[in-house]
Amino acid sequence: MLPLRQETDWNYKRASYGRLSTRHLGVEAGLGTLGLEVNILTPEFGPRVYLTGILTELELEPDRALTEQVCIGESCSRCLHSCPADAVLHFGIDKRACATEAQEFGFSTILQFFERFIDAAREQKMQMARSRDLFGFWQGLLRVVGSFGDCPRCLAVCPVGNDYHAHLLDAQREIPEKTPEKVALGKAFKERRAKGEGIAGLDAWNVRWVGPDGYRGIVARQLQAFMQAQKRRSETGAEPISGGSE
Ligand code: SF4
Ligand code: SF4
């Protein structure tokens, strides 16, 4: 049995949010822990994973949740530095701000567009019908493009995972969105944690999913094992592996 609680504040959401959080189920299943931007991070693939769940009445032996924090934490803050919407909080997220980038053509935006459309004058309606927004909604409804997961930044820059080192390191090393203000915010987060100040994302309820033991170098250990595996394969003339396990 998994102890589940709905974490969604329904006032923040008008659509596209389920009742079962697969991120939290993933943590309970021992796949990883939640990062600074509250994506689930797995040691093998960082936040670049999709999860799903199967509901069953079978009695199964559960895996243990990781107690070590997979996210490097405030001293990394690369997700915060990259976020175009300033949505990354201290092990939390401003969902409204994130949605402006990640759900540019999502269901809520469609509703807002048509609420304005109904009240618009004829000439304005004609302009709206020819707008980029309407094309975006069509793409979103047809191919899901832009309706969710439209912003890849916090996923792309996270250095956790073999796949980052195999495929993303060179392209994502520099973060163009990084500003002195974002760097200062990451440092302020670090200081608050070091001082033991109350942090909502790490309170007694939430720390369960972040990793109650804190960060203890799991990313470095994972990377070391990955590099050794790559070396062994190159010595035997085998193709280098592109992520995951050997
Ligand atoms: S998906 Fe984009 S907007 Fe949302 S938190 Fe990540 S970087 Fe920020
Ligand atoms: S980018 Fe850094 S701070 Fe953000 S989730 Fe990944 S490891 Fe954690």
> Which atom of ligand 1 sits closest to the CA of residue 88?
5
| Phi and psi at residue 34, to the nearest 5° | -80, 140
| 45 close to 161: Cβ distance less than 8 angstroms | yes
pLDDT of residue 16: 46
CA 157 / ligand 2 centre spacing (Å) = 8
pLDDT of residue 244: 55
Residue where the block lists tokens 């790490």: 202
| 88 close to 154: Cβ distance less than 8 angstroms | yes
Burial call 158-169: b when 16+ CB within 10 Å, e when fewer:
bbbbbbbbeebe
pLDDT of residue 146: 74
pLDDT of residue 19: 67
pLDDT of residue 22: 87
CA 239 / ligand 2 centre spacing (Å) = 29
Residue where the block lists tokens 């080192």: 165
Whether 88 is in the pocket of ligand 1, judged by its Cβ within 6 Å, is: yes
**Protein residue with least CA distance to atom 4, ligand 2:** 79
3-class DSSP string for the chain = CCCCCCCCCHHHCCCCCCCCCHHHHHHHCCCCEECCCCCEEECCCECCCCCCCCCCCCCCCCCCCCCCECCCCCCCCHHHHHCCCCCECCCCECHHHHHHHHCCCCHHHHHHHHHHHHHCCHHHHHHHHCCHHHHHHHHHHHHCCCCCCCCCHHHHHCCCCHHHHHHHHHHHCCCCCCCHHHHHHHHHHHHHHHCCCCCHHHCCCCHHHHCCCCECCHHHHHHHHHHHHHHHHHHCCCCCCCCCCC
CA 200 / ligand 2 centre spacing (Å) = 18
**Protein residue with least CA distance to atom 3, ligand 1:** 98
Whether 82 is in the pocket of ligand 2, judged by its Cβ within 6 Å, is: no
**Protein residue with least CA distance to atom 6, ligand 2:** 158
> Which atom of ligand 1 sits closest to the CA of residue 100?
3
10-residue mean pLDDT series, the chain (246 residues) = 49 54 89 96 95 89 92 98 96 89 84 93 95 88 77 95 94 97 98 94 92 95 91 82 57
pLDDT of residue 6: 46
Whether 154 is in the pocket of ligand 1, judged by its Cβ within 6 Å, is: yes
Whether 78 is in the pocket of ligand 1, judged by its Cβ within 6 Å, is: no
**Protein residue with least CA distance to atom 8, ligand 2:** 71
ipTM entry: 0.99
Residue 55: CB atoms within 10 A of its CB come to: 5
pLDDT of residue 95: 85
Whether 35 is in the pocket of ligand 2, judged by its Cβ within 6 Å, is: yes
pLDDT of residue 3: 44
